[in-house]
Amino acid sequence: MRQRLSEAAFEVIKEVGYANFRTSAVSKAAGVSQGAQLHHFPTKDSLTTAAMEYAYERAHGKFLKNISSFSASDDPLDAVIQDAEDFFMSDYFMVALDILMAGGKNKELRDEQVRLAVTSRASVEESWVKKLIELGWEKSEAEMILGMTFCLVRGFAIKLLISHSRSDLSTMMTQWKSMVAMLKAQA
């Protein structure tokens, strides 16, 4: 029941945005009574947190597929870029961002949202850094390049909120890969 309500909350926020989010729409989407919903999630904040947890769990599942399918013959930067795109260009990130931005006035809710975001993404970043180190990268180099790659893709994803064209992303990532190659050659 909790899973069904969490997924329904995510879907409702994805459809109407956090600003128009109503808990009554969640119980309707989940096909349960409002009483059942209130039993599992007594407040809008608890339901919102559940929607974010759902988003991060689903995104983490995609990350696990990406990193487990990575092989030593693959270009590690391509794999990191693809994983970043899979997350930052996803509905999971956009819903979490919407909640984080709109719910930011409530300190308790914001603190929980930030904790969820940091916890979820920290394990992803740690795993990629470990994978890059296994391939012979220096730890500081792996952390810096990974962090900058994620920042570039995240920034582009946010740009998509005002411009729906993804055409520049490929060019930007090609340029980024050239810059990384030069950095690695100098090291």
From residue 146, alpha-carbon distances to 29, 81, 94 in Å are 38, 9, 21
Residue-level pLDDT at 101: 85
In terms of phi and psi (left: phi > 0; alpha: psi -120 to 50; beta: otherwise), the region of 135 is alpha
Higher pLDDT, 85 or 110: 85
- DSSP letter at 19 equals G
What integer is the mean pLDDT of 18-35? 93
- pLDDT band for position 16 (cuts 50, 70, 90): very high
Q: Which pLDDT does position 164 carry in this prediction?
A: 74
Mean of the per-residue pLDDT values of the chain: 91
Split at pLDDT 50, 70, 90, the class of 104 is low
Q: Which residue has the higher pLDDT, 166 or 129?
A: 129
Q: What is the 3-state secondary structure (H, E, C) of 77-122?
A: HHHHHHHHHHHHCCHHHHHHHHHHHHHHHCHHHHHHHHHHHHHHHH
Confidence category of residue 93, pLDDT binned at 50, 70, 90:
very high
- What does the pLDDT read at residue 187? 67
Q: Please give the Cα distance from 143 to 159 (Å, whole number).
A: 24
Give the CA distances from residue 117 to residues 6, 10, 121, 148, 182, in Å, rounded to whole numbers and listed in that order.
16, 15, 6, 18, 32
Domains and CATH numbers, the chain: 44-186 (1.10.357.10)
Residue 88's Cβ-side half-sphere holds a number of Cα atoms within 13 Å equal to: 23
Confidence of residue 7 (pLDDT cuts 50, 70, 90): very high
- Asked whether residue 103 carries a pLDDT value surpassing 80, the answer given is no
pLDDT per residue as tens digits for the range 48-90? 999 999 999 999 999 999 999 998 889 999 999 999 999 999 9
Cβ count within 10 A of residue 46: 16
Q: Which of 20, 184, 46 is nearest to 113 (CA)?
A: 46
Mean pLDDT of 165-181: 87
Between CA 79 and CA 137 the distance in angstroms is 15
Bigger pLDDT: 157 or 187? 157
**Higher confidence at residue 107 or residue 142?**
142
**CA–CA gap between residue 108 and residue 97 (Å, rounded):** 17
